Amino acid sequence: MPNIETLLSIMSRLRDPESGCPWDVKQDFDSIAPYTIEEAFEVAEAIAQRDYPELKEELGDLLLQVVFHSQIAREKGLFDFNQVVQVLCDKMVRRHPHVFGESDAADETAVKVNWEAIKQQE
């Protein structure tokens, strides 16, 4: 069964300068940014329509954009997909001290207040 490593490997092959896809190889952050925005809107549209099979597909397309940007960054020596995941995991733990730490949040309003306070500190 395919997993994230499979997807990362596919993107690496698509971006290979010698044997990859000419279109994929030519792309950079700027050229694929509009596609990233478009995919986010398509996710929102699938949600609004309650079209869950479409949502599944659109989430995959949005994930592809994250993988694409991460591959370009890896090629430039900036960061890689695993570092993106690490930063996200760290942020989620840090911004949920009521789950992973010692603070409390009685309801979703308290969670939002805490989230914003932590975000401002960062």
Regarding whether 16 and 4 lie in a shared domain, the answer is: yes
Q: Largest Cα–Cα distance of the chain, in whole Å?
A: 56
For residue 110, what are the contacts with CB-CB under 8 A and spacing of at least 6?
98, 104
Strand stretches in the chain, DSSP E: none
Q: Given this model, what pLDDT does residue 60 score? A: 98
Regarding whether 6 and 44 lie in a shared domain, the answer is: yes
Regarding whether 64 and 4 lie in a shared domain, the answer is: yes
Regarding whether 22 and 71 lie in a shared domain, the answer is: yes
Regarding whether 96 and 59 lie in a shared domain, the answer is: no
| pLDDT (tens digit per residue) in 82-118 | 999 999 999 999 999 989 988 888 889 888 888 888 8
| pLDDT (tens digit per residue) in 37-66 | 999 999 999 999 999 999 999 999 999 999
| pLDDT (tens digit per residue) in 13-40 | 999 999 999 999 999 999 999 999 999 9
CATH code: domain of residue 37:
1.10.287.1080
